[in-house]
Structure formats: C-alpha cells, structure tokens
Amino acid sequence: MKHARAILYAVSLCIAGGAGLAVAGPAFADVKAGVDAWAAGDFSTAVREWREPAAQGDPDAQFNLAQAYRLGRGVAADPAQAEMLYAKAAAQGHLRAADNYGLLLFQDGRREAAMPFLAAASERGDPRAQYLIGLAHFNGDLLPRDWARAYALLTLSNSAGLPQASAAIKQMDEFIPRAEREQAQILAQVLKREADAKRSAQLAAVDLGVDMPGQAFAAAPPSVATAQTAIAEAARATGTESPAKAGADYLGPNSQATTDPVAKPQPKPAPPPTAQPPAATSGPWKVQLGAFSVDGNAEKLWRQLSSRSELAGKVRLLVPTGRLTRLLAGGYPTRAAADQACASLKRAGQGCLVTR
C-alpha cells in the first residue's frame, strides 16, 4: 500500500450565512427590521437595528452583528468583535453561530479548541465541517485515523458542492483501498440520515425555545475580557453571504473557497504514547454542569472546568436527554462529597446540581 501524504487543511473556507428567516413577535422587531434592511443593501441601518438587541443578549442579533463585523458591511471590519459575538450567540445555543465560531477557531490555528464545534457541525451535516473532520480522520493528526469515515465525510461534503472536497477525494483515491472506499459509500448514506435527523431535532429545539438564555444549567456566555483575549489573534475570514437566522441554509453549490495544495510526502508519525487516564473516584453520585443544544458548548465547558480540584479524577459524562445533551461529572462516592463539590463550583460562579 502506498504511504499516504497528509492533505493540507483549507484555511479560507467560506463562512456562509444563507438567507434570513422571518422573526416572529414584537421582542424581535429590531432583528427583523435589520434583516430586511440588510436584504435591501442598507447595511448601516441593519447594524443600527441589531446593536441594542445584541447588547441585551439576543442571539440572533449577536449572530447577525457578528456577520456585519466580519464582512465590514455597515461597520468597520473587526474580526475580534465578530468572534466575540459568535461566541456569545453560540453559548446560547445558536447553531449557525456555533458553526462559524468553530471555523474561526480552526482558521486561527486553534484547531484542538475548534474540534468539538466542528464535530457537532459535521454531525448536523455542515459540509465545511465534514470536510475538515474528514481530513482530520484521513491525516490522523487531530482525530484517530479512519479512512472509511474520512472518505464518507468528504463524499458528503463534495455532494453539497464544497469546491475543496473534489480535489481531496481525488488525492484520497490514490491511497484508500477500493474496499474501504466502497464501505465509505454505505457509511455516507448512514451519516447523511443521522445528520438530517439531528439537524431537524436541534432546529426544532431552537424553535421551541429549548436551551435558550436563562435556562438553568446552560453554559454562561464568555466574559468580554475572556473573549477579547481569545479573539485578539483571530484570523480574518472572508465571504459574501448575508446574515441569517438560525436554521437557514448556509452553503449553496455556488459558494467559493480556496483549494489548498497537497503537502509533501511525510513519514508516517509514530503513534503517541498511550495516555493513562486519571484515577477516578468510584461512586454513584454525579454533578450536572450544564444542558446544551449545541454539543460543542458541553465540550467547551468541560475543558474550562476539568482542571478544577472539585472535578479532579472525575469522569466526564455526556448524556443525551431529549433534544439536549447534559454534561455531568461522575464518580463521587457519597451525596455529601457531590454536594460539597457543587457548592464550591457555585461559589466560583458555575451553576450545577447533584444527581444520581
């Protein structure tokens, strides 16, 4: 079998937004007015309409304003402000904001931090995320090497019209055996059905107001200081799409993106040493840290909290519950130990509850 060459990741994937959806209710009047102004080409008015609801925490306004800052329409281009607004909207369960936030992290070189958001977007059928997750599985650098899954994801991305996918598939054809490519075609059909179902369920959750601002145990939006620190290094993302409400189609077959070259042949890296998991205290009691409609937010919160002493040696648990995924820390031997850990987390500003 030929030695595989690593395929370079795209760094200028189009971060698309799609067409706006109607906004119901007087509380969203400014957001709807802004979308109408944007569609008419009056970008300054659109930005003006979105500022107040965005400041009040409306995730649609935050997402749309992030698009304006990223594109420099109606306001001076400011990638830092764009990323901060994407992050705030994503923390409230805005799916398109979460997708774009993950892509910005990846393009900025913060690839490990981007992986949970990209994985969640890929599972919903986002072709940009499927492309990046597929390459990660092919290269075996950010995710375990899995050529069948890689080929399946690139097949789906290609069928959605992402320009990079076709060239990557041709390169993979040189290295992936026919049997695995045939297996990937079957897997692609399975992944598409699962993505369609998951996307429909999560968008329905948004429509029903599940995991919206104020819901108990949802992750809080990042502080301005934290977000500004993280986004000070953000790379400039380019595109020409319009801001959109969550649930809009976000990538059409005519979207443009840059195709990256293939890296020079590299020796297959030695497998990393097997990491020894920390010794977890056994016990039936758990501390619930959050409930999320965007899976990447659960992973993000765990990364932020897992180094705390209250969670040392505990097991991360992601438990699907209806349209939400609950994040729990498991392994507390007694109710008293779990209560003590939760109380300490609450003093630090992290909501939680004890369960068994």
Does the pLDDT value for residue 133 go beyond 90? Answer: yes
pLDDT of residue 12: 52
155-214 pLDDT, tens digit per residue, is: 999 999 998 899 999 999 999 999 999 999 999 999 989 888 877 776 655 444 443 332
Higher pLDDT, 235 or 10: 10
Question: Between 171 and 27, whose confidence is greater?
Answer: 171
The letter for the amino acid at 164 is Q
- Binned at pLDDT 50, 70 and 90, residue 130 comes out as very high
pLDDT tens per residue across span 40-86: 999 999 999 999 999 998 889 899 999 999 889 999 999 899 999 99
Residue with the bigger pLDDT between 282 and 119: it is: 119
State the pLDDT at residue 164. 87
Q: Which two tokens stand for residue 263?
A: 């890296």
Residue 50 CB contacts under 8 Å (≥ 6 apart), including other chains: 30, 31, 34, 61, 64, 65, 68
Query: What is the residue extent of each domain of the chain?
Result: 26-231, 285-355
**What values do phi and psi take at 187, rounded to 5?**
-60, -35
* Domain 26-231: CATH architecture, name and number where available: Alpha Horseshoe (1.25)
pLDDT over 70 percentage in the chain = 69
- Cβ atoms of 268 and 295 within 8 Å: the answer is no
Higher pLDDT, 227 or 274: 274
pLDDT higher than 60, residue 243: no
Of the candidates 332, 324, 319, the one whose C-alpha atom is nearest the C-alpha of residue 286 is 332
Which two structure tokens, joined as six digits, stand for 287?
Answer: 């501390």
CA–CA–CA angle 10, 13, 15 (5° rounding): 155
pLDDT given at position 216: 24
Tokens representing residue 2 in the block: 């030929």
Query: First and final CA of the chain: distance in angstroms?
Result: 50
**Top-level CATH class of 285-355?**
alpha beta
Find where tokens 């619930």 sit: 288
Alpha carbon distance 65, 67 (integer Å):
5
Q: What is the pLDDT of residues 200-224, one digit of tens each?
A: 776 655 444 443 332 222 233 333 3
At 128, list the tokens: 């940009």
Average pLDDT over the chain reads 73
Write the DSSP assignment of 137-199 as a string of letters: HHHTSSS---HHHHHHHHHHHHHTT-HHHHHHHHHHHTTS-HHHHHHHHHHHHHHHHHHHHHH
| pLDDT above 80: residue 280 | no
